[in-house]
Structure 1
Amino acid sequence: MRVLLLTGSHPRHLYVVNKLAELGIVAAHVMEVREAFVPQPPANLEEIDRLNFIRHFADRDEAEQRHFVGHEKVQLEIPTLNVSLAQLNSEDTVKWIASQSFDIAISYGVHKLSNELLNVLPEHSWNIHGGLSPWYKGNTTLFWPFFMLRPNWAGMTIHRLSARLDAGDIVHHSVPNLDYGDKLHDVACKAVIQGATDLSTILTTTSIDQIVYNPQKGNGKLWVGNDWMPQHLRFVYNQYNNDIVDQFLDGKIPRIDPPIISALRNEG
């Protein structure tokens, strides 16, 4: 199975690229060069929120450097087109993709793809979403499970690419194991790693005609960028001191498990 990847440029995105490239199945790669990874706090925040903002994004950077060490770049030679956000859906990008030979397209960490670009992708085209759909669609979806005191709902969804955001039929849910000492960003990184592992297995053990697509059902939420505010960090860092996983594993937080869709139920 030959794969076209469309990804962002952060270490979490390149980790997935490198893991699939190691299998020799990546035919081509479109990489959207993303924004700076450690943002500056907004002006006029209260001191508690400014410090939490700095802590949150510094911790994210530290966790990603630790979990994704060596994945600051693509490690193997792959035909690659580097694009900016403005170039992502350009005519040149569409033509370049159309000139490549591949069986399946997978996006991860890129902005919304245009209908013109989607039209040159094959029937089997997937997106890797950082969040369990349909409950956590949209933005900041590995943060909200912690805010909702459901750290075991922090995971990844592989779903069919569609014009609607994170709404395509589901191929697979992936959730990491939680361990004592895991902080919010550790779980987010472990979710990416588990998702890459599961995707590698799916692509190397399943033929395209065996793929099962599951329509998204049930009540979910599309979390938009404006839903998140720096003040939400008070709950994670000041109320719980970022030890939500430990309290969850100790049984101090009630456990409700997500209804997982797995493409690997028959594995092993």
Structure 2
Amino acid sequence: MNDICLITGDHPRHLYFAKSLAESGRIACWVIETREHFVPAPPANIDPHLRDLFDEHFAKRENTEMKFFGNTRISDVGIPYMQVTKESLNARQTAEFIAKHQSKLVISYGCHKLQPNFMAAVSATFWNTHGGLSPQYRGVATHFWPSYFLEPQMTGMTLHETTSQLDGGGILFQTAAPLVRGDTLHALAARNVEYYAMQLSEKLNALDVCNLPSPIKQKTYGKVFMAKDWRPEHLRLIYDVYGDSIVDLVLDSELRGREPELLSAFDE
């Protein structure tokens, strides 16, 4: 039965995610938000070496996501879709498109914040995919910060109920992909998206949308990273100090840290 709607961004990882979940046969429709340019321009007035690191970092992200996710096109996904902007994401027309397809569950990933009046108009359950392990890593750039804090094993994905609190809703499902020798920061991030999409697709195959699992309340507030927290200077540690080999250092036990404690309401 097609009874789930997706709302995603339009970056490579988002299109791959949508295609993977569509293969479950459960996706009724898809809302796609046009996001910012995938490869940003460096800030003005930074020193030449830092500018080079910035360009290298985002070029590597683009190349890695093409390697993992390919050149997935919207038409490849094969489900009814509607394209929106940040401004029209919460519009009445968007709610009407979802309602027309009789979706009982909406799963979002990579879009801007969904407003309460929009969700009320759709009359469905809303879950959000967050690229980070909540509550330890919430907010923005949460596949960057675990490696920056020298614990790449804490890179992961969280499915949680959509609430007004940023990435703070009750947890439905979490994954953390195994570390693979040779993985860079971007490869680790992409591998986690790939692993999560595969695991979630399997969960959806057996999901009864009329008897959804009860979310697990987050017991601690954790850390919420904001866009202003990240600066190009952070790249020096990743590339100049550790040569983008932090995963290997953990596998060689030269770096140690926390291990993820993954939650799943599906197994309760």
Report the TM range for the smaller structure's normalisation.
Answer: over 0.9
Secondary structure of the residue aligned to 1:85 is coil
Verify the 8 A CA contact 1:94 1:116 in the aligned structure 2: no
Query: Deviations along 1:66-101, whole A, 9 cap, x unmatched?
Result: 000142434143111101111111222222223221
Counterpart residue number, 2:84? 83
Secondary structure of the residue aligned to 1:5 is strand
Q: Distance in 1 between matches of 2:75 and 2:17?
A: 10
What is the identity, as a one-letter code, of the residue corresponding to 2:113? K
How far has the Cα of 1:20 moved from its partner? 1.4
Q: Distance in 2 between matches of 1:265 and 1:88?
A: 33
> 2:196 aligned with 1:195, yes or no?
yes
Q: Distance in 2 between matches of 1:22 and 1:134?
A: 30
Gaps of 5+ in 2: none
> 2:259 aligned with 1:244, yes or no?
no
How far has the Cα of 1:124 moved from its partner? 2.9
Counterpart residue number, 1:168? 169
Q: Distance in 2 between matches of 1:264 and 1:245?
A: 30
Alignment of 1:101-116 (within 5 A): 101-116=102-117
Verify the 8 A CA contact 1:11 1:73 in the aligned structure 2: no
> 2:243 aligned with 1:235, yes or no?
no
How far has the Cα of 1:218 moved from its partner? 2.1
Q: Distance in 1 between matches of 2:122 and 2:164?
A: 12
How far has the Cα of 1:153 moved from its partner? 0.6
Question: Which of 217, 220, 223 is matched with 1:218 structurally?
Answer: 220
The number of residues matched between the two structures is 266
4+ runs of 1 displaced by more than 6 Å?
Answer: none
Measured at CA, do residues 180 and 265 of structure 1 come closer, stay the same or move farther in structure 2, by a change above 3 Å?
Answer: farther
With the length of structure 1 as denominator, give the TM-score of the two structures: 0.94
Q: Distance in 2 between matches of 1:70 and 1:42?
A: 28
Counterpart residue number, 1:134? 135
> 2:142 aligned with 1:118, yes or no?
no
What is the identity, as a one-letter code, of the residue corresponding to 1:205? A
Counterpart residue number, 1:179? 180
With the length of structure 2 as denominator, give the TM-score of the two structures: 0.94
Q: Distance in 1 between matches of 2:265 and 2:193?
A: 17
Verify the 8 A CA contact 2:153 2:176 in the aligned structure 1: yes
Gaps of 5+ in 1: none
